[in-house]
Chains A and B, each alone.
Chain A
Amino acid sequence: MTVFVPDLFVGRKILVTGASSGLGRAAAIGLSRLGATVAITGRDEGRLGDTRDQLSGDGHLIVAATLDDTDAVAATVRDVASSIGVLDGVFHAAGISLTMPVRMTKSRHVADTFGPSVYGAFGIVRAAGQKGVMAERSSIVLMSSISAERGHHGMMIYSAAKSALHGLVRSAAVELAPRGVRVNAIVAGAVYTEMYAREVERMGPDWIAGVAARHPFGFGDTDDITQAVAYLMSDAGKWITGSAWTIDGGYTAQ
């Protein structure tokens, strides 16, 4: 994170969803180290506490919230803005990864996958469209995946959910531009987080080696995503909206 000025986000308020672990946690910590006041939400209140303990500075907010319902998330975002002031940014990392063969795909698998990532995103954007929630030059970043663009065995639901975010980003960007709110997605390749560690247990070491091998640069680090989030949240990114930035170690180049 040393490429940025250390006070990049001093005085700025950023909401991070999915902050219990993985990319969300790393981003919350990274953004706090750049001076941001962060509000963090996630599924697991205990692990949210662990995230909070690693944040730099003070004044941060833990938000217990339902993340998989559009109306509930919209209300949560409004409440956060009421608590800490208009938001300068939202980083939406909430979501689960699910591998499920098509023949076993059930309604609840679809709901569990679409809920936090897609329905939650709708809630964030809805709140962003209302008065008093987002600052005049603010930035929403949604986490997407190479799975949005490339198919894999067992990834039908996840691919569809991430792909949905791209349509959402484009139209949300169009509609929120007059409000000064930028909306972008990050298309991430495989970053080795707890989510991956759990998959290794199920799928085995050969599988994980195969995943790494499909990336010319191998696995990424959470910092690779955090730095792009910081860029898209900063003034340097002020002319970027409606885009999907691919950060994948070259996966989709091939």
Chain B
Amino acid sequence: MSFAADALAGRRVLVTGASSGIGRATAIRLSHAGADIVLMGRDEGRLAATLADCAAGNHSIDAGALDDADAVADRVGGIARDGGPFHGVFHAAGSSLVLPAKLTKNRHLEAVFGAGFYGAFGIARAAAKKGVVTDGGSVVFMSSVSSLRGRQGMVAYSAAKAAVDGMVRALATELAARRIRANSIVSGAVETQMHNDFVQSVDATLVDNYRNLHLLGFGSPDDIAEAALFLLSDASRWITGTSMAVDGGYTAK
């Protein structure tokens, strides 16, 4: 491990999307750096399973939908009021969508913009209020290479991720007075359950082509978890308003 076991000792971190995939891996990783984690997601059972895999700490779960900005802001504000402010937030909640533009309807947009963007905005609003994120804290949002690169079927998803990156730039300027930094991680394709389900449903040539879009092949959830840890730690205290590529070289090509 590259980070010290106490890199986030005594710090309270909110992780959304902690039921599975990148959110789950990150919650576990942060717990091994000494953080106390509040795990948010839709599925209480899977949140409990993530918590069980975390290193010992003052962790808790809070299950519920994350697709309404006001509801997320209120709930996060309430959790901070009850248990103390957060040093950091890692927002991994959200769903992907592969659908041609000609078939993409309003309800698809609502789904893909839901937790991924509206939920992100709820986090942003909460962070901007007093008592939710401590001064000098850090909010990290999951984005994607789809924010920067277009591919067939990705029109709605690309828009949602670009929305997150646009939000991060402006949010950073609003939070700067309190030295709270806001950044996003521009992720390539990471081998999560969601990814594996997709890969198994299409033919091998397509998977190879998809993998080869990345100089270093598919990533692992840990690659993102480590970057999240970096961005939540004091090592990144001067980094704000950026979208950091952690993408196996996808955007180099």
Q: Which residue of B lies closest to A187 (CB)?
A: B242
Report chain A residues within 8 Å CB of B238: 189, 217, 220-221, 224, 247-249
- Residue A243 at the chain B interface, CB threshold 8 Å: yes
Report chain B residues within 8 Å CB of A220: 238
Report chain A residues within 8 Å CB of B230: 231, 236
- Interface segment out of the listed B96-104, B118-126, B215-223: B215-223
Report chain B residues within 8 Å CB of A217: 176, 179, 181, 238, 240
Q: Give A253 Cβ to nearest chain B Cβ, in Å.
A: 2
Which residues in chain A, 127-144, are within 8 Å of chain B measured between CB atoms? none
User: Contact at A224–B253, with CB atoms within 8 Å?
Assistant: no
A169–B4 Cα distance when bound, in Å, is: 30
Query: In the complex, which of the residues B173, B223, B251 contacts A238, with contact meaning CB atoms closer than 8 Å?
Result: B223
Which residues in chain A, 34-88, are within 8 Å of chain B measured between CB atoms? none
Encoded as 1 (CB less than 8 Å from any A CB) or 0, chain B from 213 to 253 comes to 00110011001001101100111111111101111110111
Report chain B residues within 8 Å CB of A244: 245
Q: Which residue of A lies closest to B239 (CB)?
A: A247
Q: Give B106 Cβ to nearest chain A Cβ, in Å.
A: 31
- Residue B3 at the chain A interface, CB threshold 8 Å: yes
User: Contact at B245–A5, with CB atoms within 8 Å?
Assistant: no
Q: Which residue of B lies closest to A220 (CB)?
A: B238
Q: Give B30 Cβ to nearest chain A Cβ, in Å.
A: 12
Q: Give B213 Cβ to nearest chain A Cβ, in Å.
A: 12
A253 with B253: in contact, given A5-B3, A242-B215 (CB under 8 Å)? no
Report chain B residues within 8 Å CB of A177: 215-216, 249
Report chain B residues within 8 Å CB of A248: 238-239, 242
User: Contact at A250–B220, with CB atoms within 8 Å?
Assistant: no
Number of interface residues of B (CB under 8 A): 42
User: Contact at A249–B240, with CB atoms within 8 Å?
Assistant: yes
Report chain A residues within 8 Å CB of B235: 3-4, 227-228, 230-231
A227–B4 Cα distance when bound, in Å, is: 13
A154–B8 Cα distance when bound, in Å, is: 42
Which residues in chain A, 200-248, are within 8 Å of chain B measured between CB atoms? 216-217, 220-221, 224, 227-228, 230-231, 234-248
A189–B230 Cα distance when bound, in Å, is: 19
A231–B1 Cα distance when bound, in Å, is: 12
A32–B242 Cα distance when bound, in Å, is: 29
A4–B6 Cα distance when bound, in Å, is: 9
- Residue B172 at the chain A interface, CB threshold 8 Å: yes
User: Contact at B253–A216, with CB atoms within 8 Å?
Assistant: no
Query: In the complex, which of the residues A189, A234, A240, A247 contacts B2, with contact meaning CB atoms closer than 8 Å?
Result: A234
Report chain B residues within 8 Å CB of A240: 223, 227, 245-248
- Residue B55 at the chain A interface, CB threshold 8 Å: no
A242–B179 Cα distance when bound, in Å, is: 29
Q: Which residue of A lies closest to B176 (CB)?
A: A216
Q: Which residue of B lies closest to A254 (CB)?
A: B173
Report chain B residues within 8 Å CB of A236: 2-3, 226-227, 229-230
- Residue B169 at the chain A interface, CB threshold 8 Å: yes
Encoded as 1 (CB less than 8 Å from any A CB) or 0, chain B from 6 to 40 comes to 01000000000000000000000000000000000
Closest 4 CB pairs of A and B: A242-B252, A253-B241, A216-B176, A243-B245
Q: What are 10 A-B interface contacts by the 8 Å CB criterion?
A: A4-B235, A173-B252, A216-B241, A228-B236, A230-B235, A236-B227, A242-B249, A245-B242, A246-B239, A253-B172
Q: A-contacting residues of B (Cβ < 8 Å)?
A: 1-4, 7, 168-170, 172-173, 176, 179, 181, 188, 215-216, 219-220, 223, 226-227, 229-230, 233-242, 244-249, 251-253
